[in-house]
Amino acid sequence: MRLAHWAVNAPFRPLLLAVLTSSFIVPAQAADLVTITQDALDNNAALASTRAEFSGIEAGRDVVRGGLLPQVNASGNVAHNRQYESQSSARPMGAGVGGAEGAGGVGGDDSFNTASLTLEATQALFNAVTQQEVNQAERQIDQQVYVLAATEQQLLIDVASAYFDILRAHEVLEARLAQERAIGRQLEQAREQFEVGLIAITSVEEARASFDQSRADRIAAESNLQVAFEVLEQLTGQRYPSIDALGDDMPIALPTPADRNYWVEQALERNPQVLAQQAGIELSRVGVELARAGRMPTVQAFANYRYTDSDSDLVSGYNTSSQVGVSANLPIYTGGSTSARIRQGTFQLESSQYDFESQRRTTIQQVRSLYTQVSNNVETVEARQQTIVSNRSALEATRAGYEVGTRNIVDVLNAEQNLYNAIANYAEARYDYVVNLLSLRQQAGLLDVAAIEEVNAWLTGDEVNFTLPESGEPDAYQRAMDIGAPPTPGA
């Protein structure tokens, strides 16, 4: 199943959250690219936040949809009443209508209890505002599907980049260590030759300068390796003391198919960022319709029932009433706010159209650039590999010339540095190819589980180890690198 096909039907949208996780077949090894990607999908905080936001937007649709469904409310109260009355009628006692003695007579105090119960039900028959709010919520979900997909793809490329940055840093460090050892031996040889008077002190100092530079390069490479391991920890919430290395027989080939226009077309059809901006246009268009719906009438059916009871001296017993009917409301003038909302929504629609066009152009440019970079990487890797062969031959020739006196120590040192720089550059070129190839797939909307597993097959069983720096306290580094436990959902 390809993650890149984002035209997800509504019944299948909840499955999107588990697409990557469920599609992975985790191999036995502990820290290859698939394993680490799985950890990232399970533990990455940014992705978890986007998933929770997606679920919240889905719940928001149900909130507004409730306005179109029946509404039933019940209310009631029980009260104790005390009534104090000092008013009296000027009419004589017994002169009331019908001769009822005391009718309109002298008022008096009263203490009584009352109880009431009201049941009311309404059903919207026509409410354009609420209907458009539901439509707006649906478009928000459509857009969030692509936002979530873009976040997942970005996490895939971030993890892959961090993984191969570790391998890149490790190979560069190996080259710098070998360079330091080689120049160190050259420095010792220079010292011995100086002590017996074969060379001048300047040759020793130049060898020392080259050695110091190689040492500085090695320290920088060690730092880069440590930082690269820690980037993976930030993405996954896990610490990896070792990962699998990249095989020397990794295929270096042009993207398939080798047609730049194909990749551009795929990006315009599948890139989730482009599709999210396109969905944003529809969302903004619904916003205009929602503002226009403010001019429409609302019609609802209603029914209510009321029960009251009293034990007053004047009026006692209970009373019930019920009502069934239809009510309508038509906004005639709202102070111009409805017209203002329509104008506001129109400008937002225009802005979203420009956002889509900007994203479309950016994606096309990125796909074209990445395709060109990958194509150049293929040639660069081959050229860098040949450079190693050439520099190794040049070093051997320079050493031979130095032994017979036709070349000096500076030539040898330069040849040493050129060789190890070529080795480091070859490693850089290989990993640039891998990362740029995956980035091309990402921009084309084709970075999925299959792509990760394909690259994972290029790894070998050789491990790249990372030794934590020594510290005065055994757990000092552990505490310093503790990124904290994830939050508890709903807490």
pLDDT values of the chain reduced to their tens digit, one per residue, 491 residues: 333 333 334 333 333 333 333 344 444 344 899 999 999 999 899 999 999 999 999 999 999 999 999 999 999 999 998 888 776 655 555 544 444 444 444 456 788 899 999 999 999 999 999 999 999 999 999 999 999 999 999 999 999 999 999 999 998 998 888 888 888 888 888 888 788 877 788 888 888 898 898 899 899 988 888 888 888 888 998 888 888 999 888 899 999 899 999 999 999 999 999 999 999 999 999 999 999 999 999 999 999 999 999 888 777 788 899 999 999 999 999 999 999 999 999 999 999 999 999 999 999 999 999 999 999 999 999 999 999 999 999 989 988 998 888 888 888 888 888 998 999 999 999 999 999 999 999 999 999 888 999 999 999 878 887 664 443 444 444 444 454 455 555 55
Per-residue pLDDT at 5: 36
SS3 124: strand
Alpha helices by DSSP H, 258-336: 260-270, 272-292
Buried b (16+ CB within 10 A) or exposed e, 454-474: ebbebbeeeebebeeeeeeee
Taking the C-alpha atoms of residue 139 and residue 285, their distance in angstroms, rounded to an integer, is: 10
- Whose tokens are 């009373």? That residue is 319
Residue 20: half-sphere exposure toward Cβ, Cα within 13 Å: 29
pLDDT at position 184: 87
The DSSP letter of residue 247 is P
3-state DSSP assignment of residue 197: coil
What interhelical angle do 449-456 and 128-195 show, nearest 10? 20
Alpha-carbon gap, residue 386 to 466, rounded angstroms? 30
The domain locations on the chain are: 10-70+126-297+332-480
Q: Which of 413, 400, 404, 388 is nearest to 185 (CA)?
A: 413
pTM confidence score: 0.79
Query: What is the second-level CATH architecture of the domain 10-70+126-297+332-480?
Result: Up-down Bundle (1.20)
Q: At CB < 8 A and 24+ separation, what contacts does 84-92 make?
A: 84/109, 85/109, 85/110
First to last CA, the chain: 35
